[in-house]
Structure 1
Amino acid sequence: MKKEDLYNGISGIHPEYLEEADSYKTRKPIRWRKWVAVVACICVCCATVVPVFAAANNKIAYELLYTISSSIAQKLKPINNSCEDNGIKMEVIAANIEDNKATILVSMQDIKGNRLDETVDLFDSYSIHTPYDQSGGCSLVEYDDETATATFMLEIEQMNQVLIPGDKITFSVREILSGKKHSNSELEKIDLKNLSVINKFKINPNIRGGSGTETDSLEQDYIQLMEPNEESATVLAEGVTLTGYGIVDNKLHVQVRFADILVTDNHGEVYLKNQNGEVVHCQYNVAFWDNSETDSYEEYVFNLPIDELKSYEIWGEFWTCNAGSIKGDWQVTFPLTD
């Protein structure tokens, strides 16, 4: 059987079976990564806020794209292939192929309610299937409040083989996040002038990942992470709780618990700010699961002389969506054309 024939058969498989296979990847521990590292085979969904325009149809997407990149807008060819589930219509508006890259415009419209807003993203729950190995990404182009429509641009790059007219692409989505909240404020609960030495540590933490400048050299079995202090925990934002802070091996550790991350995508960062307003990021952070693998504890480690910490402020920036996601079964398969 040819590879293309096999793919054509796969594109007809009901999406729940594809997503069931994908779900095994979701719960695997995240490997160590540096702040600046980008893994090409992981699709990252970014919800970039752009100006909102009023429109009654998809012309708004083209108009906005012309302001961003006229060369991309001019090359897109109409597709207008759609599906609907849970009161939300997904439509592939247009697509273009050029060498090993494909650009696709997709919209999600709430036709039965008012569940989408300008914070909408696809929660990394989407899949892009092509006949060949590929990497891809999805970004929010705009959200139109009058029509309750979010428009996304997909960019796919083939790894070893060029897409050609007639090749089929299957795009599927199973969850949509909306109604996200953002906060960025000083963590006044933490007194950097009076820090205690930590002597209680988590035994055999279920580490799910980490990031920073030194994670490559860290030995997972020897990482010292604080035992969460739930009795004196402080709520920093809905779904975000401060569960400990202090000095470990002459470094400042700050621990935060993010609630139900597989449903809410709650996440954030803790950082320092000096008297000039300059930001100092943590040296590295390590995340580990709670016992039910529902909540995630994230511990931020700062490598500054202890006597210098008193001249800093400590801040937290968090993104939360505690209402959870909109679930559905959206899938469209379409061929690329000249």
Structure 2
Amino acid sequence: MKSELLWDAMEHIDEARMEAALEQMEPKPAGRKRKRNKLKKGIAAIAAAALVIMVGTPLLAAESPAFYQALYSVSPSAAQFFIPVRKACVDNGIRMEVESAGLEGDTARIYVSLQDLEGNRIDETTDLFDSYAIRRSFDSVGTCSRVSYDKETGKATFLIEITAMDGKDIKGGKITFSVREFISGKTAMEDIPIELEPADLARRETTDVLTDPVTTGGGYSWEAQQDFGVSIEDEAAMEELGDKLPKTVLLPGESLYSPMKNLDISAAGYMDGMLHIQLRMKEKIKLDPHGFVYLMNEKGERLEPYCTVYFAEHTESNDLRVDYGEIMFKIPKEKLEEYKLYGSFYTAGRNVKGDWRVTFSL
């Protein structure tokens, strides 16, 4: 039955969709017209046959993620044609449902909910953890954020906002929203005093260092931006600023302080006119442990980090990867006697994986 539906779908693909796919699949020869009518159906038939052979059963294209991804890279509109319209789906005991959708000028707003049908893996801290994708056949930018949690129903609701790139009104079309994992059960410890003296940390030996670590990003204070003559609005300059981050970080060692599981201070010392404090984050790609520290004196005046360098120890398995954030404070060593160390730390309690995908028309 599914194979018959697939062939039927092939027969109803309109000329514009096939034209777009062909234009992207192969270059157009100069000075000559191609015969497309038979070729269009031929390519579609070959694609369908390849799908059946590839997966071993006559599934629709939508049921083969690899096929769908390949087709979407060739022609978004054609890929959306193959996806059956579904307003809800269930996987791993979690139901994802489109609650409502509406258009207002160049913006579409869609509310999608997640509900655990088997337990309590969804709560008020549920985070899609940047694992979502918003597929659409028109040029646009999209965002997704949690807006509410209903304790009685156990539903966490997310708002998807899609804005057309050209500023014109969105006339409709299909949207595919997918999620591959989420985290929940988050714990936060905010603005807590850390039982380490900044002045003592500055007196630690800093001979054990890493030069040119494999960085995964960086952060810069307003002072750092001013020192290098750039502003956050200048994206090109900010990218160049990343090249100016310190190239030497402390060698990770034994834990000096651990506020919560999978998160600890793994090194500290004074180097190049700055106090370095290194955070070690285990299972970051699974539970997102992270945090930041700052200095504060008796007057309540805070000293924020000058910059932060993020790097990671890469292993054969991502599950064993360890991430680090080296936080640096630009302050004379003798001034550290006036300050205490504080921090805020966060982590999730669970990670739930699945394959949730809903497709609907605006």
Range of TM-score over shorter length: 0.7 to 0.9
Trace 1:82-101 onto structure 2 (pairs within 5 A).
82-101=88-107
Aligned residues: 275
Amino acid at match of 1:256: L
Runs of 4+ in 1 over 4 A off after TM superposition: 3-7, 18-21
State whether structure 2 residue 331 is matched by structure 1 residue 331: no
Q: State how far apart, in whole Å, the 2-side matches of 1:19 and 1:125 are.
A: 17
State whether structure 2 residue 319 is matched by structure 1 residue 313: no
Q: Residue in 2 aligned with 1:281? A: 304
- Residue 134 of structure 1: how far off its partner (Å): 2.4
Q: State how far apart, in whole Å, the 1-side matches of 2:242 and 2:106 are.
A: 38
Q: Residue in 1 aligned with 2:250? A: 226
Amino acid at match of 1:97: L
Q: State how far apart, in whole Å, the 2-side matches of 1:112 and 1:83 are.
A: 15
Question: Mean alpha-carbon deviation: is it higher for 144-153 or for 154-163?
Answer: 154-163
More helix by share: 2
Amino acid at match of 1:274: N
Q: Residue in 2 aligned with 1:211? A: 219
**2:208 maps to which of 200, 204, 227:** 200
1:15–1:329: 8 Å Cα contact kept in structure 2? Answer: no
Q: State how far apart, in whole Å, the 1-side matches of 2:345 and 2:198 are.
A: 20
Trace 1:20-169 onto structure 2 (pairs within 5 A).
81-160=87-166, 162=168, 164-169=170-175
Which secondary structure does the structure 2 equivalent of 1:192 belong to?
helix
1:132–1:160: 8 Å Cα contact kept in structure 2? Answer: no
Q: Residue in 2 aligned with 1:301? A: 328
Gaps of 5+ in 1: 22-78
TM-score (norm 1): 0.73
Q: Residue in 2 aligned with 1:186? A: 193
* Cα distance change on mapping 1:80 and 1:19 into 2, 3 Å: closer
Structure having the higher Rg: 2
Q: State how far apart, in whole Å, the 1-side matches of 2:244 and 2:306 are.
A: 16
Q: State how far apart, in whole Å, the 2-side matches of 1:297 and 1:20 are.
A: 33
Amino acid at match of 1:188: E
2:86–2:358: 8 Å Cα contact kept in structure 1? Answer: no
Question: Mean alpha-carbon deviation: is it higher for 82-91 or for 184-193?
Answer: 184-193
Amino acid at match of 2:276: H
TM-score (norm 2): 0.69
- Residue 2 of structure 1: how far off its partner (Å): 3.8
State whether structure 2 residue 272 is matched by structure 1 residue 249: yes
Q: Percent sequence identity over matched residues?
A: 36
Q: Residue in 2 aligned with 1:270? A: 293
* Cα distance change on mapping 1:172 and 1:6 into 2, 3 Å: farther
- Residue 179 of structure 1: how far off its partner (Å): 0.4
* Cα distance change on mapping 1:161 and 1:269 into 2, 3 Å: same
Question: Mean alpha-carbon deviation: is it higher for 209-218 or for 174-183?
Answer: 209-218
Q: State how far apart, in whole Å, the 2-side matches of 1:15 and 1:93 are.
A: 26
Which secondary structure does the structure 2 equivalent of 1:225 belong to?
strand
1:131–1:167: 8 Å Cα contact kept in structure 2? Answer: yes
Q: State how far apart, in whole Å, the 2-side matches of 1:191 and 1:290 are.
A: 26
- Residue 290 of structure 1: how far off its partner (Å): 1.3
Which secondary structure does the structure 2 equivalent of 1:177 belong to?
strand
* Cα distance change on mapping 1:281 and 1:13 into 2, 3 Å: farther
Q: Residue in 2 aligned with 1:59? A: none
* Cα distance change on mapping 1:288 and 1:177 into 2, 3 Å: same
* Cα distance change on mapping 1:4 and 1:254 into 2, 3 Å: farther
Which secondary structure does the structure 2 equivalent of 1:182 belong to?
strand
* Cα distance change on mapping 1:307 and 1:14 into 2, 3 Å: farther
Q: Residue in 2 aligned with 1:260? A: 283
Q: State how far apart, in whole Å, the 2-side matches of 1:234 and 1:18 are.
A: 48
* Cα distance change on mapping 1:194 and 1:152 into 2, 3 Å: closer
1:15–1:331: 8 Å Cα contact kept in structure 2? Answer: no
Which secondary structure does the structure 2 equivalent of 1:205 belong to?
coil
* Cα distance change on mapping 1:148 and 1:142 into 2, 3 Å: same
Q: State how far apart, in whole Å, the 2-side matches of 1:6 and 1:236 are.
A: 55
Q: Residue in 1 aligned with 2:9? A: none
1:80–1:93: 8 Å Cα contact kept in structure 2? Answer: no
* Cα distance change on mapping 1:222 and 1:279 into 2, 3 Å: closer
Amino acid at match of 1:275: E
2:164–2:170: 8 Å Cα contact kept in structure 1? Answer: no
* Cα distance change on mapping 1:18 and 1:276 into 2, 3 Å: farther
